[in-house]
Every structure is written in C-alpha cells, then in structure tokens.
Amino acid sequence: MKIIVDAFGGDNAPLEIIKGSVDASKENGVEIILVGDEEKIRSCAAENGLDISAIEILHAPTVIAVDDDPTKVVKGMTDSSMSVGLVALTDGHGDAFVSAGSTGALVVGGNLIVRRIRGIKRAAIATVLPSNDSPVMLLDSGANLDLTTTSMVQFGLMGHIYMKRVLGVSKPRVALANIGVEETKGPQLYTESYQLMKALSDYNFIGNIEARDIPMGAADVVVADGFTGNIILKMYEGVAGALMKNIKGIFLKNAITKIGALLVKNEVSAFKAKMDYKQYGGAPLVGLKKPVIKAHGSSDAVAIKSAIMQAKYFAETGVIADIEEYLSQGEDNND
C-alpha cells in the first residue's frame, strides 16, 4: 500500500512527520510519498540523519496554516502540501492520505477534491477513543454542525463497517450519544434518528447511550452530530488531562509519595499507554471515495507511524467498497 503523507501538517512538522514516515516505511507492505517543499524535506532529513532514500517526494511549496480559511485548500492555495496530497490521492498515485494539518481544510478538501461516496450525504470525522473496555469510534467528531437523520443513520453504518473491518469487532454495538436512554430523549434529530436506526437490520443498534457510559466502553460506535461529538471528544481529553495532572501532583508531593510513585510506576505507564489516543493513530474521514486520516495536530513520530499504519488497514480492508456496496443495494431495494 502506498500512503501519501502531508509532511507539513501539525505542530511538529516536518521533523516528526518525516521520522514517523521513515519508521513506517520499514514495515512490510508500506510505501510512503511525502508531500511538501522538497528542499526543506531533504535538508531536515539530512540534518537529523534520517535516511529517506526509500521515500518518494512530491513537491508542494506552500502550507495551509491552522488559522487559514479552510476553503483555501481548493482555491488560492492549491499548491499547498495538503491540496497536492489530496489531488495525488484522487488521481490514484497512492492508496490513502494522512495529514496532521488543519482539520477544517482537510474536511473541505476531502469533500471537494476526493469527493464523497455516491449516496453518502456527509463525511464524518470518526475518532477512535480508548475506553475501559475496547476502543470506541465516535462520529461525527466535528465535521458537520447541521445534519439530517439520513446522515446520522449513515454514520452508524459507516462506523459499523469500520469497526468490523479495521478493528475486528465482530458485531459492533452502535449507539446514539444522548442525555438519557429513553427513545424520547434529546432534540428532534436524535429522536427521529433513533426510530430510523431501530427500524434498520443493517447494524446492531443498541439505542441511546448516556455520555457517562462512553468511557466505560458501553458501545463500540457512538453517533452524534459534529458539535456534540466534538464536545464529547474534548471533554474526554480535558477531564483525563486534568486528572492525570492532579495524580502526578499527588505522586510528587513529598518523599513518601515519591516512593509510592516508584512502586506503581510500571502499572501507571501501562495505564497511560492504554489511554493514549496516539496508539489509534488518527481519525479517519469516513464517507469519502478514498481513505483520508486526520492525525492529531500534536502528533509525534510514533503517532504519525500509527496513523500511517491505520491508513494502510483502512485502504486494504475494503471499508470503502463495503460502504459502496451497501449503498448500491439500498438503491436497488428502496428507490
């Protein structure tokens, strides 16, 4: 699989992106195309002793910044690393695209350059979160504020296919994020989506899930509108971050607590690794014709490598073909 990587996306570009790409390129069946200013990529690699001889470089002179207007990806900055990468993906020069750059620009570029699968109304950012049990896919995590019930139902379907194919969950439990389990709870978008999902036999809809049960792993796929999904995602990060900071403070308090810290060091490290979003690489944009992965803006080399591996699985497990097949059946059966 040939993975196209935006060398200039994210807070740690280009060094950590190049590092992660070099590491990933050593894995079986992974070829990398790095997109960005060729001279800068070559000099950064040389300065840091990174051997990029096995990596193809696709030149793109500019970079879309996080605070740039996201629509610049299709007008005005089409020579940016993100635009050039998305065009290369669309034209078949690679099998998947990874970027840690502007989420907004990636969503716009995904929709307008790569384009959506026929029949899919909206593409979603699908974040994979750690839970006390197995990982949970949350979609939409922030791509769309205004959605119809059709999109909510499609998000459930795409989450189901992704978790089954890429993460190997045999019968993913799909739930609606809500403020109570009763079917009458929540805004109209939610009560109506509930009824449509309940009537479907295409996936295992388990009803509403309260936000407090998400971190316990009470569902494998959690469907929400992009505003709510983003709030869930950010609360997850925020509460976990605040608590871990407090716990660190506890361990560093005095000589006795420092000894206590030493005694639980290995277990705390294992726990931190389990809760680390980086292990899951990044958030796939589901609903597009080709695999696009949004890596976290603060990704280091390890996170970039994970995102590249995730892009590979996304491409080779046939998630997109499955979604297309389902939608074409729907067309035959329903309209």
Q: Are strands 2-6 and 31-36 parallel, antiparallel or unpaired?
A: parallel
Q: Which residue's CB is nearer to a copy of itself, number 132 or number 328? A: 132
Site string for a copy of itself, 181-220 (x = CB under 8 A): -----xx----------------------xxxxxxx----
Assess 232 for contact with a copy of itself (CB under 8 A): yes
Comparing C-alpha atoms, which of 332, 318, 276 is closest to residue 117?
318
Assess 231 for contact with a copy of itself (CB under 8 A): yes
129 HSE (CA, 13 A, CB side): 29
- Which neighbouring-strand residues pair with 2? 31
**CB 218, min distance to a copy of itself, A:** 9
Q: Cis ω on the peptide bond leading into residue 140 (within 30° of 0)?
A: yes
Among 151, 193, 228, 299, which residue interacts with a copy of itself (rule: CB under 8 A)? 228
Comparing C-alpha atoms, which of 215, 208, 209, 213 is closest to residue 239?
215
**CB 215, min distance to a copy of itself, A:** 4
- Which neighbouring-strand residues pair with 177? 209
Amino acid at 257: T
Assess 131 for contact with a copy of itself (CB under 8 A): yes
Assess 134 for contact with a copy of itself (CB under 8 A): no
Q: Which residue's CB is nearer to a copy of itself, number 246 or number 333? A: 246
**CB 318, min distance to a copy of itself, A:** 32
Which helix (H) or strand (E) covers residue 45, if one does?
Answer: helix 38-47
CB proximity list for 190: less than 8 A, separation 6 or greater: 152, 176, 178, 208
Site string for a copy of itself, 303-332 (x = CB under 8 A): ------------------------------
3-state DSSP assignment of residue 19: helix
Among 247, 248, 325, 331, which residue interacts with a copy of itself (rule: CB under 8 A)? 247
Listed ranges 11-19, 38-46, 141-149, 322-330: which one lies at the site for a copy of itself (CB under 8 A): 141-149
- Name the H helices within 110-225: 149-165, 188-199
Assess 237 for contact with a copy of itself (CB under 8 A): yes
CB proximity list for 240: less than 8 A, separation 6 or greater: 275
Listed ranges 48-56, 110-118, 255-263, 280-288: which one lies at the site for a copy of itself (CB under 8 A): 255-263
Contact 84, 58 (CB under 8 A): yes
Q: Give the Cα separation of 21 and 210 in Å (integer).
A: 39
**CB 163, min distance to a copy of itself, A:** 20
Residues from 289 through 308 that contact a copy of itself (CB under 8 A): none
**Length of the chain, please?**
335
CA quadruple 183, 185, 186, 192: dihedral sign: positive
Assess 243 for contact with a copy of itself (CB under 8 A): yes
Assess 146 for contact with a copy of itself (CB under 8 A): yes
Assess 271 for contact with a copy of itself (CB under 8 A): yes
Assess 34 for contact with a copy of itself (CB under 8 A): no
CB proximity list for 200: less than 8 A, separation 6 or greater: 153, 156
Residues near a copy of itself (CB under 8 A) are 131-132, 142, 145-146, 177, 179, 186-187, 210-216, 226-228, 230-247, 250-251, 253, 256-257, 259-264, 267-268, 271, 274-275
